Amino acid sequence: MMDAAILASVLATVIAAATPLLFAALGELVTEKSGVLNLGVEGMMLVGAVTAFAIAVVTGNLHVGVLGGALAGALMALLFGVLTLTLMANQVACGLALTIFGIGLSALLGDSFVGIPLDGLPELDIAGLTDIPMLGTVLFSHDLLVYLGIAMVPLTALFLTRTRWGLVLRAVGENHEAAHGLGYSVIPIRYAAVAFGGAMAGIGGAYLSVAYTPMWVEEMTAGRGWIALALVVFAAWRPWRLLLGAYLFGGVSILQLYAQGGALFDVPSQVLAMLPYLATIVVLTVLSSRGVRALLAAPACLGKPFHAA
C-alpha cells in the first residue's frame, strides 16, 4: 500500500499528465462543434512543442515560448483550414496529412535543439495553500498552465452555452445551411474555431516541452493528439466530461509508469501502456457509426463541407 505522501505525489502527477490532453481536446471540441473534423491534432501539438521550446531557449522566456507554441499551432490549423474550408479538400485526408507534416516539420526545426537543457515553468507558491498536508501537493503545487487548462473548461462551457457567438458556432455545426440562411458567415466562423483549436493544441504541445518534460525530443507527444481526439467523443462533446476523461487517460498513463517497478499491480506494464491507445482506436472506430454519433449528440454537420450558394 502507498502512504499518503506517495499517493499525493501520484495524484499530482496525474493532473500534470492530463494537462496537455485537456488543452488539445478542448480545442478540438470547439473545432468539431463548428462542424469541422481536424485529425491533425498530433501534428499541431508537435509543432507547438518544438516552437515553444526553441523560442524559450533563444529568448530565455518560457511564457513567450508558450505564446509562440500557441501561434505555431494556430498557423498549422489555418493551413488545414485553407485546404478544407476554402479549397474543399477532404477533411479526414487533410487532417492525417497535417499530422504527417507536423511530425516531419517538428523534427526538422528541432534538430539543433535536441539535448539542450531547459528549466521548466516554475510551480506557483500559493500562500497558505501549498503547505496544506497532501491537499497542497495534489492541488496547489502546479505551474500556471495546469490552472489555465482547468480554467478553460468552464470558460469553454460558458462560451458554448451562454454567449451569442457560442450559440452561433453550435448552430453552424448542427445545420450550416440554416445558419447561412439566417445571415451568418459559416466559413469565417469555422476558420475562427479551427484557429482556436490549433492554438490550444499548440499550448498542449508547449506544455510538454517547457513544463512537463522540459526538453525537446522528436515525436515527444507520443500519440497524445490521437488520445485528445478520442477524448472529445468519450466526453460526448461536453467540456465538463472532457475534464474527467483527461484525468482518466492521464491516470492510466501514469499508473503504467509506476507499474513498471511492480509496486502497484501484478499486471505487465505493457498492458497498461496499451490501454489509452486501445481506447483511442475503439472510440474513433465507434465515431464512424452514424447511429452512435447521433446517440452521442455529435454535431450533425461534423466533417461535411459547406458550399456557399
Q: What CATH class has 4-295?
A: mainly alpha
Query: What is the per-residue pLDDT for 22?
Result: 95
Distance between CA atoms of residues 265 and 153, nearest Å? 32
Cβ proximity of 16 and 212 under 8 Å = yes
What pLDDT score does 277 carry?
A: 74
Contact 237, 28 (CB under 8 A): no
Q: What share of the chain is helix, strand, coil (3-state, %, to 5)?
A: 70, 0, 30
Residue 300: phi and psi, rounded to 5, are -60, -30
Q: How far apart are CA 164 and CA 139, in angstroms?
A: 33
C-alpha cell at 150: 482547468
Separation CA 225–CA 96 (nearest Å): 11
pLDDT of residue 1: 43
Distances (CA, A) of 217 to 46, 90, 114, 205, 288: 10, 31, 6, 12, 33
Q: Where are the domains of the chain?
A: 4-295
Helices assigned H by DSSP within 111-163:
135-139, 144-162
Pick the closest to residue 36 from 102, 1, 80 (CA basis): 80
Tens digits of pLDDT across the chain (309 residues): 456 777 777 888 889 999 999 999 999 999 999 999 999 999 999 999 999 999 999 999 999 999 999 999 999 999 999 999 999 999 999 999 999 999 999 999 999 999 898 888 888 777 767 767 777 778 877 889 999 999 999 999 999 999 999 999 999 999 999 999 989 999 999 999 999 999 999 999 999 999 999 999 999 998 899 989 988 988 889 999 899 889 988 887 777 666 655 555 566 667 767 777 776 677 667 656 655 555 567 888 998 998 876
